[in-house]
Amino acid sequence: MNTIIPRWQEQEPASAPLSMLAFEDRMSRLARVQGVSGGQIRYALAGEGPETILFLHGIPLSMQTWQDLFFRLARGYRVLAIDMPGFGQSGKAFEDYSLDATSARVAELCRALGIGRLHVAGSSFGAAVASVLALNEPELVDRLMLINSVGIAGGTHAVERAARIGLVRQIMRSALLRENIGIRIFRAKMQASYAAHEPDDAMVTYYYRQLLEPGATDSFLMTLRQFRERDLQARLPDLRKPVLSIWGTQDKVLPVKKSVGIQTRLGDCWSVVLPGAGHLPHEEFPDRCASLFHRFLSLDDTRA
């Protein structure tokens, strides 16, 4: 097996004490709704650049996870962020939440908006959707930026395994919907997603309230149950797109060693490990991620 050497090396950031993330929803003022097969997708579109970047969030979050990077990149690109089907303010009655079905709805949205070519950025579960979108719609997708991706590196995440067991799934649903218990569970899971920061009460409450909306918890658990990591991994040799993989060294959700698995499975992969970042480096270090996106998208296809 060939040794994969990361092309870029990021310097260790200066140490800083744990700080709270001051959450404010800056995306809703741009939000619109577009009907697709089976329901509606909420999206935000901004920027005037010649190239378009689509942002796909992890679950059970929403487009707000991208807002710092969204507004930074809107200065040079056209940027499109969505609430994934079943999440945020998008529809909750799609029934089929497989990667193929979700990516098909995303492609349908892009066609409805008149977008024929774009780059796709995906975080965590959104990275798996981005990869399937590129596999199923190669004429639509140009390049991929995958951040702490699930499903690609190999193996099965424990939460996804548990969500497929009916009894455990019912316990998870019951616990999430019991507000006093559910918000404590949710807060602990969110805290595990950060390394350099800590989510504030406004952020935890914002995302937790979305899970309490009718059908939201069922959509979340259905998405986990229908997620087939090994099926995705089997298709990766057919993914012939340039990929930028970004991973936080302090990711408590998916350890950084998973980033090596992505490099070995993708033929054209540039890997960057961000010291001090957790599972959501685009939230903790948006300037650094924006710089990496700019550098990756400015590369021509003849790079060595």
- The string of pLDDT tens digits covering residues 262-283 is 777 787 889 999 999 999 999 9
The string of pLDDT tens digits covering residues 62-78 is 999 999 999 999 999 99
How many angstroms separate the CA atoms of 202 and 21, rounded? 9
Query: Is residue 162 over pLDDT 50?
Result: no
How many angstroms separate the CA atoms of 176 and 173, rounded? 5
The string of pLDDT tens digits covering residues 95-149 is 899 999 999 999 999 999 999 999 999 999 999 999 999 999 999 999 999 999 9
How distant is the alpha carbon of residue 101 from its chain centre? 17
More confident residue, 173 or 149: 149
More confident residue, 80 or 49: 80
Residue 4: its pLDDT value, please?
A: 42
More confident residue, 124 or 13: 124
Provide the percentage of residues in the chain whose pLDDT is more than 90: 61
Mean pLDDT computed over 157-172 = 45
How many angstroms separate the CA atoms of 69 and 47, rounded? 12
- Three-class SS state of 210: helix
Nearest 5°: phi and psi at 150? -90, 160
How many angstroms separate the CA atoms of 209 and 53, rounded? 28
- Determine the residue type at 229: E
Give every CB contact of residue 240 below 8 A, 6+ residues apart in sequence: 138, 267, 268
Query: Is residue 192 over pLDDT 80?
Result: yes
| pTM (predicted TM-score) | 0.88
Instruction: Tell me which of 35-49, 94-108, 188-202, 254-268 is least confident.
Output: 254-268
Residue 164: its pLDDT value, please?
A: 43
* CA 32 to each of CA 28, 50, 60, 70, 228: distance values in angstroms, whole numbers, following the listed order: 8, 22, 20, 16, 31
- Three-class SS state of 190: helix
Provide the percentage of residues in the chain whose pLDDT is more than 70: 84
- Tell me how crowded residue 257 is: count the other CB atoms within 10 A of its CB: 10
Please report which confidence band the pLDDT of residue 154 belongs to, taking 50, 70 and 90 as the band edges: low
Number of H helices, E strands in the chain: 12, 10
Instruction: Say if CB 145 and CB 271 are below 8 A apart.
Output: no
Is the bond preceding residue 60 a cis peptide, omega within 30 degrees?
Answer: yes
Residue 201: its pLDDT value, please?
A: 92
Query: Is residue 88 over pLDDT 90?
Result: yes
Q: Which CATH class, in words, describes the domain spanning 19-297? A: alpha beta
Buried b (16+ CB within 10 A) or exposed e, 224-244: bbbbbbeebbeebeebebbbb
How many angstroms separate the CA atoms of 120 and 52, rounded? 8
